[in-house]
């Protein structure tokens, strides 16, 4: 059965579907033009006595193009003995994000997903992660305003013993919904917007959990999306 567009007298066939087969489509990434697609990974400890609401990871759009996060995967693993407790992470969109954190931070190195035709990484994004040792206060010194509620959350239970198998692993958690799935619109960060990940509650004096953050994003012209 043909699928056409246009008027009955000037229709153009755009697809052919038989009675027993679904339409086959080709999914493509967001058009980046002269900008680009990027990916970064950050690993850190969630330290003993890490404060509630301590920031662990953040991305800020410093430029005038849009930044669209396309993938956010988080994995946790218990690497040392701990005091049993419930713990969690919260994920926030941020606005009025005029400066990233400057204390207890590292700058993870991002990769551009194609070496030709894309602006060098990280484009207009500023990315920071808490130091690998996981400072108890988290990252500080930034200027940002969190949304009133988190857009995602993870809860996990710390055990008394260190992990020896994948039973001590939480995740990987796929935080962002697939773009377009069930009508889903992606986050689109304008200048001085972004996201941050933070510790939910005060960690006990014995903790020993490692976090890995895997973030991908596209920088696109404001006319693309």
Q: Where are the chain's structural domains?
A: 32-220
Q: Determine what percent of the chain is predicted with pLDDT higher than 70.
A: 88
pLDDT, greater one: 127 or 181: 127
Give the pLDDT confidence score for residue 127 in this predicted structure. 98
Contact yes or no for 123/63 (Cβ under 8 A): yes
The first and second tokens of residue 203, run together, are 């960690």
Mean pLDDT of 46-58: 91
Q: Determine what percent of the chain is predicted with pLDDT higher than 90.
A: 61
pLDDT tens digits, 53-108: 999 999 999 999 999 999 999 999 988 888 888 899 999 999 999 999 999 999 99
pTM of the prediction? 0.86
Phi, psi of 167 (to 5 degrees): -65, -20
Contact yes or no for 15/104 (Cβ under 8 A): no
Omega before residue 122 within 30° of 0, cis: yes
User: Which 3 state secondary structure label does DSSP give 181?
Assistant: helix
Q: How many residues does the chain have?
A: 225
Burial environment of residue 175 by CB neighbours within 10 A (0 to 12, 13 to 18, 19 or more): buried
Residue 122 CA neighbour count, 13 Å, CB half: 23
């Amino acid at each position: 059965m043909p699928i056409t567009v246009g008027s009955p007298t000037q229709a153009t066939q755009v697809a052919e579907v038989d009675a027993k087969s679904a339409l086959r489509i080709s999914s493509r990434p967001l058009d980046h033009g002269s900008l680009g697609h990027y990916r970064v990974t950050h690993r850190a400890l969630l330290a003993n006595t890490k404060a509630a609401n301590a920031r662990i990871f953040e991305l800020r759009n410093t430029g005038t193009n849009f930044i669209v996060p396309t993938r956010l995967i988080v994995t946790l693993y218990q690497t040392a003995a701990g005091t049993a407790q419930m713990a969690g992470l919260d994920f926030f969109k941020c606005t009025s994000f005029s400066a990233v954190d400057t204390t207890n931070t590292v700058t993870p190195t991002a990769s551009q997903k194609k070496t030709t035709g894309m602006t060098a990484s990280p484009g207009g994004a500023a990315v920071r992660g808490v130091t690998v040792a996981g400072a108890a206060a988290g990252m500080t010194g930034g200027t940002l305003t969190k949304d009133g509620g988190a857009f995602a959350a993870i809860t996990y239970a710390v055990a008394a013993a260190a992990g020896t198998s994948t039973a001590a692993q939480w995740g990987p958690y796929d935080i962002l919904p697939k773009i377009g799935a069930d009508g889903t619109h992606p986050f689109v960060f304008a200048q001085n917007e972004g996201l941050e990940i933070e510790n939910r509650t005060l960690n006990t004096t014995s903790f020993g959990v490692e976090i890995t953050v895997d973030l991908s994003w596209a920088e696109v012209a404001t006319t693309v999306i």
